[in-house]
Structures are given as structure tokens and as C-alpha cells.
Amino acid sequence: MHEYSIVMSLMEQCESLAQQHQAQGIEQVELKIGILSGVEPALLAQAFETFKLETICHNAKLVMNIQPLVLQCRDCDQQSQVDERTIICPICTSNNTLVIDGEDMMLMQLVLDT
Ligand SMILES: [Zn+2]
């Protein structure tokens, strides 16, 4: 499953960051999940709870911030936040847009237990 490999690389990232900061553990893992990232938050949470037991994240709480899509329109020059998966500018209905945010998943913050 896609989410399992994401969580595994996330855990590796957490472990190396914890090592760098000589932390005893990790209290909280905060993620940003773009709605176009293809990541299913419920599946990700489930994978996190399963995998964390074996890792430094075993006491960590997972916080997921869902990032809506942000479009920059090249025609009317407006930036809009949209909740659906679309590339149509909601202001002028142009499809000449650029996706600014909402496409990626990233680690925003780790709360370390030192
Ligand atoms: Zn527009």
C-alpha cells in the first residue's frame, strides 16, 4: 500500500532527526497533506499507528493538516483556494492556472522529547 511506504520513510526521517538532536523520543509528528498529494489521511493514520510501535515514534501523536489546493490564475492574476480537485480558476473560470500548493505531503514539525 502506498501509505505504508510513505510512513516508513517518514519514520526514517523522524529517527534521523531525533538522533541529530539527541532526543529520547518523539511526542508529536505534524504533517501537511495536500489534497492532490494522493495520500489518504485515514490510511496514513492507520499505517502510522501500526508502524510507530517499532520505532522512536512509538509515543508520538500524529497531527495531519489538510492543505487545500491553491491556484494562481495566469489570466486574472488572482490566487484562490479551492476545495475540489480542479485546475479551473473559480473567479474567471480560466484553466490557465498554476498549482501553488496542495500537491505535496511534507513533514511540518516534530516535537522531540529530549
Ligand atoms: Zn482567473
DSSP assignment letter at 60: P
Decide if 82 contacts 71 (C-beta within 8 A): yes
Q: What is the CATH number of the domain that holds 78?
A: 3.30.2320.80
Q: Which residues is 57 bridged to in the sheet?
A: none
pLDDT digits (tens, 9 = 90+) for 27-86: 999 999 999 999 999 999 999 999 999 999 999 999 999 999 999 999 999 999 998 889
Give the residue numbers spanning the domain of 16: 2-113
pLDDT higher than threshold 80 for residue 1: no
pLDDT higher than threshold 90 for residue 96: yes
pLDDT digits (tens, 9 = 90+) for 12-37: 999 999 999 999 999 999 999 999 99
Place of cell 500548493: 101
Q: How far is the CA of 81 from the centre of ligand 1 (A)?
A: 12
The arithmetic mean of pLDDT across residues 4-9, rounded, is 93
Q: Total structural domains in the chain?
A: 1
pLDDT higher than threshold 80 for residue 6: yes
Known binding-site positions: 2, 73, 76, 89, 92
Q: How far is the CA of 76 from the centre of ligand 1 (A)?
A: 4
